[in-house]
Amino acid sequence: MSSPKVSIGLPVYNGDEFLSKAIESILGQTFTDFELIISDNASTDRTAAICQSYAAQDSRIRYYRNATNIGGANNGNRTFQLARGTYFRWAAHDDLCAPELIEKCVAVLDHDPNVVLCYTQTVNIDQKGNPCGIATLNRATSTKVDKRFRDLAFRNDYCEPSYGLMRSAELRKTRLEQDFTGSDRVLLCELAFLGRFYEIPEPLFYKRHHAKNVYIDWRARMAWFNPEWKGKITFPNWLQFFNYLIAIQRGPLSVPEKFYCYLIMGGWVVAHGNSMIKDLLVALQMSLHTKEWRKNAHVYNWE
């Protein structure tokens, strides 16, 4: 089979409520040279039936199903590992894309080899699809590496650029998404060390906010990244901190660029120090209880 220009990876777990609309928004793209890779993380609802129905109708869809839940991060990574396209984009089962999104992002990457990731303005929508506002970020668009790192490392947004169109060759140089809360920011930083981002000044991506993707508990969400975390004592803020340091160390940066990025991490600790202290305090509290008690102490809402 010939390789498509674009691969779109759609990891999903129990997403039958919004899945059909998400798939249809992808299949309705004006740019048609793509494959849609769906990885079903052992869903127990109607997800499998929905995916199989669409795959039977459109040969661009490749549907896979995991025998067990391998965690959200691993499932997302799997869609990229199966991808064949020059460019790659992650999609979520509850989000929507305007018909021109892929076409316009491809045009940017084709035109400028220095851009490693292209994304658009984001329209935030509620559970019913009603718009709640437009987000313009312009994150990591600078030609300076340290400025791009500063844009992405701090928690000032919902990581919308992670749903941008990326160069597959550059994405393969990263560690992909790790199995801890906030690892999507680390991945974006690793990509930003390889080149700049570009934001198309048009609202073409619709990010849905609903009850099952709200951060109720930062530590509890670790179980979404890897089910084995459930009930364990975790340190998500510390994991993010140390992985930023690893990303800086392994990035293709000059000595001065590394120095400035390490300085930025000093500011990061100041900004997020309370969260790091909370990790330690919660760990101390949790250590006084059994693993079974800890499983019920957090609210595991994320799907």
| Residues 161-175, mean pLDDT to the nearest whole number | 98
Evaluate whether residue 3 is within a structural domain: no
Q: Is the pLDDT of residue 169 over 60?
A: yes
Closest CA to 121 of 19, 9, 198: 198
Evaluate whether residue 282 is within a structural domain: yes
Evaluate whether residue 252 is within a structural domain: yes
Distances (CA, A) of 13 to 43, 91, 120, 269: 5, 13, 26, 34
* Paired tokens of 167: 């160069």
Evaluate whether residue 160 is within a structural domain: no
Report yes or no: 265 and 185 within 8 Å, Cβ to Cβ: no
Evaluate whether residue 261 is within a structural domain: yes
pLDDT band at 271 (very low <50, low <70, confident <90, very high): very high
Q: Note the pLDDT tens digit of each residue in 202-253.
A: 999 999 999 888 777 778 889 889 889 988 999 999 999 999 999 999 999 9
pTM summary value: 0.95
Task: Tell me the C-alpha distance between 293 and 291, whole Å.
Answer: 5
Task: Round the average pLDDT of the chain to a whole number and report it.
Answer: 95
114 — phi, psi (to 5°)?
-80, -15
Contacts of 289 by beta carbon, 8 Å cutoff, 6+ apart:
297
Instruction: Say how many domains are in the chain.
Output: 1
Q: Note the pLDDT tens digit of each residue in 86-100.
A: 999 999 999 999 999
Contacts of 31 by beta carbon, 8 Å cutoff, 6+ apart:
5, 6, 102, 103, 106
**Angle, alpha carbons 114-182-34 (nearest 5°):** 50
Q: Is the pLDDT of residue 299 over 70?
A: no
Evaluate whether residue 289 is within a structural domain: yes
pLDDT band at 303 (very low <50, low <70, confident <90, very high): low
pLDDT at 212: 82
* Paired tokens of 33: 């040279």
pLDDT at 248: 98
Q: Note the pLDDT tens digit of each residue in 239-249.
A: 999 999 999 99
Report yes or no: 72 and 224 within 8 Å, Cβ to Cβ: yes
Evaluate whether residue 292 is within a structural domain: yes
Range of the domain at 236: 222-297
Evaluate whether residue 127 is within a structural domain: no
pLDDT at 38: 98
